[in-house]
Amino acid sequence: MPLTAENLRVRCAEEMSHHPRGFNGCGWLRDAFLTVPREHFVPDRVWWPARGEDGRYRLYDRVRQPRAWLKAVYLPGVPLITQIDDGSVAPTGPADGAFTSSISAPGAVVELLRHLAPEPGHTVLEIGTGTGYTTALLAHRAGADHVTTLEIDARLAHHARTRLHALGLRPHAITGDGEHGHPPRAPYDRILATASVRTVPPAWLDQLRPGGLLLAPLDTPFGHDLLLRLEADGVGQAHGRFVAPVEFMRTRAQRTPRPYADLGWPPDVTRDQWQHLHVTVGPAGQRIRHALAP
């Protein structure tokens, strides 16, 4: 099989069709993945997410290494790093520093959207446009005019808008702090965060339609994030559970560590109990408890 973006996309989709955390029979999501060209959104220079022998992150250059770059784009479990240290590190070679933006692995994007379960015509708010790839998948499902996406970094936002417009997609792409949401287009049927938080921002709940779903990676005491799926109850609160272990970069406003007791976590919770935890978020704050606890 020739090495083309189309062939790699089909191969990647096939792998995710047989993985329990992949499409899981979700036909619209598989169609969207096969339709939207992921390579269109990946910058020409990205870093591999694991350190090399020299202790730095290797750079993949689309011009110098077109085959390796394209293969990396369609590896189901591999994110590609698009920004280090909030853009202060130029993508000119191997580098070190803190990851501050990426294009999530295909498998991670598929899992997010499968749990979000948007429907055609749903109003969707995306927190963290990044490259614009997930935005394009959302637009394919809900309709571009129904999608609002927020990106705090002006350079990333410009890249995403340019890439989206080149495909004829014009969602409401806004440069701003996603923790505040976007009240002018609220309420939303679905809210998706592609950056993790330590506590769910109140603005997201305020802008979620009663019965609407919010999906966000939440920091945990377990050394990794958990994907939190909340449903608004219509009286100011949202309730839900964790659906998958994940790893995402923190929102800028919530990078500073905080005691987990202050974030609503019970003191005796253990790593193997995550599937049995119930989460309530509302005006009184965030509470995480064992599902059978009073």
Burial of 75 (0-12, 13-18, 19+ CB in 10 A): middle
Number of CB atoms found within 10 A of residue 231's CB = 16
Measured distance CA(289)–CA(95) in Å, rounded: 41
**Which residue from 45, 132, 129, 128 is spatially nearest to 84, judged by alpha carbons?**
45
CA atoms within 13 A on the CB side of 138: 35
Which residue in 101, 102, 104, 196 is the catalytic one? 104
CA atoms within 13 A on the CB side of 131: 25
Sign of CA dihedral 243, 35, 158, 174: negative
196 is catalytic: no
Sign of CA dihedral 251, 252, 255, 256: negative
**Which residue from 114, 99, 108, 113 is spatially nearest to 147, judged by alpha carbons?**
113
For residue 196, the cross-strand partners are 250
Q: Which residues are tagged catalytic?
A: 104
